[in-house]
Structure 1
Amino acid sequence: MVRVVAVLVALAALAGCGAVRVEPPAPGGTTATACATLNGRLPRTLDGAERVPSDPPSPYVVVWGSAEIALRCGVPRPATMDPRQQVPEINGVAWFADPVRPLLFTALTSDGYVEVTISRKHQSAGVLVDLAAPIKAAFPG
């Protein structure tokens, strides 16, 4: 929880800077492979925001806009999620909406978790719809 808050603070503080500071996760095994595949499938533009570099560079982090949307692939299961909890699906991807941090969504796949932070400047549902196909392709299980 503290780590996610630190990521959000860093994103807010660096809005407008060249590279956006985001703490990269360190997935292993099949999750790391799927995350690297996902990185190559993600769009250059998402909900009108252009893809920008992250600091440090990582194949597990993608940022769009001035810290408007940040994706981290290979994160741990959300601490606030009950593993038996039913979550909504958007275009075949199950998304957990964090009840404590309303701008944080986590895609639940059989091989890992993909965390997305979406600023209020963007329509969360539209962003999640746009991310569903690349996530399904990278995590087919």
Structure 2
Amino acid sequence: MNFFRRRLVPLPALGLVLLAAGCSWTDDTVTAVVPSPDARTSGHCRKLDKALPDRLDGLDRSDPEPSSEFTAGWGGSAIILRCGVPQPAKMLDPNPPSTTVDGQGWLVEEPGDGSYRFTSALREAYVEVTLSKEHAEQGAGVLVDFGRLLKKTVPDGIAT
């Protein structure tokens, strides 16, 4: 009898190890710094937030934490939008890296991790769109969708 007890004692421990190996202890929550826009810009961002789609570029909406009407996301970290960000310093360069997509101007930045960050130009709120490295490899077609939404919700002008 004693022989069997010694043999069986490691089995519950082995079971716990196997159970833990099948579970993920990592936190896959995507986070984004929430901008702090002024009252006027906040109003534009709220209108944009209400117009944002539940699905974009084949990805379901999955907003980052902490939850805010100034941030949105699709496909985890594939596409992250932040509305009411401060004017990027690069916009003040004489020839900033930029592009125009479907009539909407965008500042283009490469943070160095393979992702791309686009910030809207000539709107009363700066809207930043970050595409993960993996999603950026598929192109920046989402800028067409975002440009159309901006034209409907954020007036032309210069953000303050």
- TM-score class, shorter-chain normalisation, is 0.7 to 0.9
1:91-133 Cα shifts (integer Å, max 9, x gaps): 1211000155551111113312101110133234211112111
Alignment gaps of 5+ in structure 2: 1-25
1:32-91 Cα shifts (integer Å, max 9, x gaps): 111110011111111111101321111000011121110000001112232543632211
| Residue 92 (1) aligns with residue 103 (2) | yes
TM-score by structure 2 length? 0.70
Q: Say which structure, 1 or 2, has more relative contact order (CA 8 Å, 6+ apart).
A: 1
The structure 1 segments of at least 4 consecutive aligned residues displaced by more than 4 Å after TM superposition are: 99-102
Counterparts of 2:86 and 2:116 in 1: how far apart (Å)?
17
8 Å Cα contact 2:63-2:71 kept in structure 1: no
Amino acid in structure 2 at the alignment position of 1:71 = L
Alignment identity in percent?
A: 37
Indicate the residue corresponding to 1:135 in structure 2.
150
Counterparts of 2:103 and 2:76 in 1: how far apart (Å)?
29
Amino acid in structure 2 at the alignment position of 1:118 = L
Instruction: Please give the root-mean-square deviation of Cα atoms over the aligned residues, in Å.
Output: 2.0
Given candidates 50, 54, 59, the residue that maps to 1:40 is 50
8 Å Cα contact 2:60-2:75 kept in structure 1: yes
Indicate the residue corresponding to 2:119 in structure 1.
106
Greater percentage in strand? 1
Amino acid in structure 2 at the alignment position of 1:89 = T
Amino acid in structure 2 at the alignment position of 1:114 = V
Q: 1:83 to 1:135 in 2, by over 3 A?
A: farther
Indicate the residue corresponding to 2:23 in structure 1.
none
TM-score by structure 1 length? 0.78
The 3-state SS of whatever aligns with 2:68 is: coil
Instruction: Flag the structure with larger Rg.
Output: 2
Greater percentage in helix? 2
Q: 1:92 to 1:64 in 2, by over 3 A?
A: same
8 Å Cα contact 1:72-1:114 kept in structure 2: yes
Alignment gaps of 5+ in structure 1: 1-12
